[in-house]
Amino acid sequence: MYREAMWGDNQSYEGEFILLGVADRPRLEMLLFGLVLMCYTMTLLGNTTIIVVSRLDPHLHTPMYFFLSNLSFLDLCFTTSVGPQMLVNFWRKRKTISYGACVPQLYIFLALGSTECVLLAVMAYDRYAAVCHPLRYTTIMSHSLCFKMAAIAWLFGFGNSLVHTVMTLRLPRCRENRIDNFFCEVPALIKLACVDTSFNEALLVGFSAVFLIVPLGLIMVSYSYVVVAVLRIRSAEGRQKAFSTCASHLIVVSLFYGTATFSYVQPASNYSRDQGKMVSLFYTFVVTMLNPLIYTLRNKEVHKALRRLTKRT
């Protein structure tokens, strides 16, 4: 009955969408509720801790932790844009989202994901400057350059999302309002269209390739220089320290780019029924939960900062 409701004469939907998720499998739905709740809670705690510690401890007022704080704030917003609504819908019989809530969710979710693509490349450049030019590091990574690079990442991300959001919302859906996902996402909404979506799919794949492959290429170039520089270090302790500063970032890059490439750099029509949904859950909740753990568990500076703040309180 939801399918026939709230349609105008011009066949544009103005009411609410039904988020199918895994509503036909109640046990799996409850399992996913527990997993999402756990991941979302840990994401909030972990990323908030990184932001607070980086802000309060003067020893962490460096370019690396400035960008890490940006990443943590981005991940907080990323999961919050879909998490609370999804958790509520797991318990509701009518698993719906209004058109007015779906549009900003669609835009913000893709905007933050695109921003993270660029921000991870910026962080790779920071590691390149730190390892390859340690004596000139503070000069190269000045405060003004850090702010400009972060601003560019955010502007590019939100600009990219604006294009896809507008193009996706312009597609006629011919009374179809059942989204086969847990939240409003571009590939899932493209599948609702009742017209040929080849152009939209090509646009999504093309822009995604630019935002995924180009930054990933820059990351690989940066780390090729890092590897060469590290191998020139004579002491084993020095090499280990240099590699450890880059290892956390490389793990995060692998997790994020791996799942995002799988999800976006292919036509939406190629998705299996559950494939896209589960991949979306993974990079939305699992990856954002792991990011602060990866950075803090391997980072002695953060450990020391936490101890200093604990003693201070």
Q: Is the pLDDT of residue 29 over 90?
A: no
State how far the Cα of 213 lies from the Cα of 141, in Å rounded to an integer. 24
Flag the least confident range among 13-17, 23-27, 158-162, 231-235.
13-17
Whole-structure pTM value: 0.84
For residue 6, give the DSSP letter: S
* Segment 124-129 mean pLDDT: 91
Stretch 274-300: mean pLDDT: 79
Sequence-ordered list of residues with C-beta below 8 angstroms from that of 195, at least 6 positions apart, any chain: 171, 172
- Both structure tokens of 96: 């719906």
Q: How far is CA 29 from CA 18, 23, 34, 42, 115, in A?
A: 15, 7, 9, 20, 30
- Domain residue limits, the chain: 15-308
Greatest alpha-carbon pair distance for the chain in Å reads 74
Q: What is the mean pLDDT of residues 202-228?
A: 86
The predicted model gives 64-91 an average pLDDT of 92
Rounded average pLDDT over 124-137: 90
CA dihedral in degrees (67, 71, 77, 81; nearest 10)?
140
For the domain bounded by 15-308, which CATH number is listed?
A: 1.20.1070.10
